[in-house]
Chains A and B, each alone.
Chain A
Amino acid sequence: MSYNGSGTFQINTSGQPVVTGTVISSTAFNSLTADLATGLSTAITKDGQTTVTANIPMANFKITGLGAATVGTDAVRYSQIQSGTDKLITVTGTDTLTGTMTPALTAYAAGNQFSFVAANTNTGAVTINIDGVGVKSITKNGSTALAAGDLTANSIALIEYDGTRFQFLNVGNVVGPASSTANAIPTFSGTTGKLLQDNTKVKIVSNNITMDGSTSGTLTVAASAVSGTNTLTFPANTGTAILDYSTPAFRNRIINGAMAISQRGTSFTTSSGSAYMVDRWQVGATQVSKITGTQSTTSATGFTYSQSLTVASAFSSGAADLFYLTQGIEGFNIADLGWGTANALPITISFWIRSSLTGTYSAFVRNLARDRSYIATFTINSANTFEQKTVTIPGDTSGTWATDNTEGINFGIDLGSGTNYNGTASTWTGSNVFRTSGSVSWVANSSATLFLTGVQLEKGSTATSFDYRAYGTELALCQRYYIKWTQTANSSWGIFEGWARTTASFRATAPLGIPMRASPTSSYSNVNINDGGAAYTVSSFTDLSTATTFAVQAAATGMTQYRPGSLGSNGSAAYIDASAEL
């Protein structure tokens, strides 16, 4: 009989139970021993002699004290799962990887995931052979071969077998360069690499995100595909230069770089030597009447005006002669550059220039004391053609650079100054130099022309697009340095109202809409005093202005004391102006 199929061992009942005092039948005894032999042979022996012939129902009981599996057909001890031995490969090699597992792998199956610590940084496409099962490629983003550096020495790689190849799952989770390459930037040779997977945060600790390379880079905050707001948040400006290099407001430190503001008129001479042209721009000249200028409508694409210059009388400069086109930038407007300190930042100057003379020219920047200067050369390649030029100048960590209402930086382009001002390009010099010996002596060429527009001086090492400002904004910026009140001939009203302080002096005052840089110098043309009864010729102005109030005392004769009147045209086109240029 033996087991009944449900686990109950049954004894043969023939001749049983035996009775005291009777002879036990051999048949009954033999049947009993046969049943016992059958039962014991069917049981599992603890020394492993028997082989199980069917599944063993454990009825929720554990197998305890299980030995660690050593081959693929062994039962797995739970601690082996915890330790990941079923996933972890020991790998050697750089691009041709040999992997071993314990227990050894016997076959690849789609869906198998393994991880390993890369022994070396790969130099190209990578294959792996695990326990001699077969050589398979490791690819990324589908079937793309790995590029050099995708596997980084000592980094953990996660791969999954897709039935054909192993795909590298953590290609985007770049582990930074080894400590031996501090400050290096992880690079991607593919076109679809990404820094981190979705739904993660990028946190930069005490460092920067840097765009680097020979072309250009873009940091994009992508718009969300669903409703919501994407915000690029900058920290409070508690340190220095938080919005470094590309400050959106007042990016261009040059005023009137597009030459659109020209309060002084549209044509200019240098009959007294140095002379202002369009607003904020001055021709510096030690010789009179060699250069004339206009606010020209011949300009570069995208600009309406330029400052044009023409050599009116060719001049071969003596050693001490100077000729340049320049603009002084107020110290308040360059204070953030940190020049004269260890934290000095670079600047980039870009401009459109056209000249009838090709060759090398010198642009320059200087400080107020003229004991720090930097020459940056550029080349005009084609005559009479607008070309955009860009020069980058490292910040000056030496010298004194004004950060108040005096001149912070003097920028200019040399027009053929004398040899006293020759210097070396692309280096800071502790003296007043602003041209190289090989630069074009433009002023020495009769009827030579030069046009300049789109001038931008900005913080940083990259030239950005021209910082167009509203006309009114640009005009207001100009009027901090110069303002001109004009009146057409025979106008019936005055420029300023005032009163006769005495019979010989007339005082007029007016608040300045734009506070000027300093108390301005005043000048006038074709102005008289009219008190409604008579007109009085002005013989002179005495300036009483402050930076916020224009005030003059005009001298005349025969006025009636305390009578009000006006300063205005004497019958011809008149002007009064105030200048606080740098």
Chain B
Amino acid sequence: MIQYKLQQIDGRDVAVTIIGQNISIPFDPDNTDYQDYLAWLAEGNTPIPADE
């Protein structure tokens, strides 16, 4: 099961990564990886919060 984790810059969520993958997905509505993340959220899933 895929698991997303939020990523922050200066306290603001700007991207997500996928646990276990060296990947970062920007919050761009035209980015299809971001669209997959939104679909994942729509299924009721919750991302891991960003590191403090």
Contact = CB atoms under 8 A, between A and B. Distances in A.
B21 A523 contact: yes
Interface stretch (A121-129, A201-209, A537-545): A537-545
Nearest to B8: A542
A582 B15 CA distance: 19
Given A540-B7, A542-B15, A523 B30 contact: no
Contacts of B17: 540-542
A519 B26 contact: yes
Contacts of B7: 540, 542-543
A102 interface: no
Contact of A522 (B14, B23, B30): B23
B3 interface: no
A541 B22 contact: yes
B27 to A, nearest CB: 8
A246 B22 CA distance: 44
A521 interface: yes
B24 A525 contact: no
Contacts, number: 61
Interface string A499-536: 00000000000000000011111111100000000000
A544 B32 contact: no
A522 B33 CA distance: 10
A100 to B, nearest CB: 81
Interface in B5-52: 7-9, 14-15, 17, 21-26, 28, 30-34
A49 B11 CA distance: 132
Given A540-B17, A544-B14, A553-B9, A521 B22 contact: no
Contacts of B21: 523
Contacts of A523: 21-24
A405 interface: yes
A406 B32 CA distance: 9
Q: Is the interface of B mostly helix, strand, loop or mixed?
A: strand
Interface centre among B24, B28, B32, B34 (most CB of A within 10 A): B24
B30 A517 contact: yes
A521 B23 contact: yes
A580 B31 CA distance: 6
Contacts of B28: 518-519
A113 interface: no
A579 interface: yes
A544 B30 contact: no
Contacts of A552: 24
B30 A542 contact: no
A581 interface: yes
A474 B9 CA distance: 36
Nearest to A505: B9
Interface string A42-82: 00000000000000000000000000000000000000000
A304 to B, nearest CB: 30
Contacts of B24: 521-523, 540-543, 552
Contacts of B30: 405-406, 517-519, 580
Interface in A568-582: 579-582
A525 B22 CA distance: 7
Contacts of A545: 26
B31 A521 contact: yes
Contacts of A517: 30
Given A523-B23, A543-B26, A544-B14, A518 B9 contact: no
A524 B17 CA distance: 12
A499 to B, nearest CB: 15
B9 A540 contact: no
A552 B23 CA distance: 11
A279 B8 CA distance: 31
A521 B21 CA distance: 12
Interface of B: 7-9, 14-15, 17, 21-26, 28, 30-34
Given A405-B30, A518-B28, A520-B31, 8 more contacts: A518-B30, A518-B32, A519-B26, A521-B25, A521-B34, A523-B24, A540-B24, A544-B26
8 contacts: A518-B30, A521-B34, A525-B22, A540-B7, A540-B22, A541-B22, A542-B14, A543-B25
